[in-house]
Amino acid sequence: MKTTKIILIISVVICTTLAKTEIFAQEKSDIYLELSKPLLEYSLFNRYIFDAGTGYNAKINRLDVGASLNMTYSKLKGEYNTQTYFIKPRVNILLPIYGSNLTTFKIKFGLGYSVISINNKKYEFSDLQQGINAILELKFNYITKTRFDYYFIINYDYTFLNKDKDFTQLDYYRNIHLVSFGIGAKLKFYEKDEK
């Protein structure tokens, strides 16, 4: 308990110090944390609660190239409380389409392989499904003079599951379509940091 408190205090101190430092150098890379809520869904489950993700991007010319890990969670209400964990590691490319001193607008394309874990303790049921995953995301970024930037995202997330006759015999349910809206924060690293 004491160690957790110390780690938490140290993290807060580091983040506040970094956040208050005004930076004017060229941005080189960033790590980010985001949270989104699925608004539209076409899938067998039809009940996703939230999506949390983290990732790293490095600037290469005008593009941001990086990797991310997202997890979408859902749970059925009532007696059939089946839980679903949707784990999505991806490789991403971000393309800027508009930029000013205060805001940037980017499109993100991502490709990966996702794993879905479904389990129900009451019925002693568990299943694992997997398939390719792609994302198309619009990212509206608010630029601050601190280490942290904040952004809004709206994305379309598509998964095509591998064939498994026991899971479903219809191609319709092998497709998982999600449209989500969310917020995120990124911690920027500059060329100066790396020298």
Partner 1 sequence: MKKMKNKIVLLITIISVILLTPNCSKDDLVLDQDYVTVSDLKHYCHCDRNTSIFFDTDVKTIIEQCNNKEVKVKGHIDNEFHKLFLNYGYKLNSFYLRDIRNRNSICICLNDDFICSYIDTIVTSQDSAIINKILNSNETDMCYIKGILHSYELPMNTSSKIEINILINNADDIFFKSDINY
Can you give the binding site for partner 1, defined by CB under 8 A? 40, 42, 44-47, 76, 78-80, 82, 97-98, 105, 107, 118, 120, 122-125, 127, 136, 138, 156, 158, 165-173, 175, 177, 179
Pick the closest to residue 160 from 174, 170, 171, 172 (CA basis).
174
Closest approach of Cβ 158 to partner 1, in Å?
7
Closest approach of Cβ 167 to partner 1, in Å?
6
If the CB atoms of residues 8 and 97 are measured against partner 1, the closer one turns out to be 97
Pick the closest to residue 122 from 73, 77, 81 (CA basis).
81
3-state SS assignment for residue 15: helix
Pick the closest to residue 115 from 133, 98, 96 (CA basis).
133
If the CB atoms of residues 16 and 81 are measured against partner 1, the closer one turns out to be 81
Beta-strand relationship, 48-60 and 148-161: unpaired
If the CB atoms of residues 156 and 190 are measured against partner 1, the closer one turns out to be 156
Closest approach of Cβ 195 to partner 1, in Å?
36
* Whether the Cβ atoms of residue 143 and residue 120 lie closer than 8 Å to each other: no
Closest approach of Cβ 185 to partner 1, in Å?
24
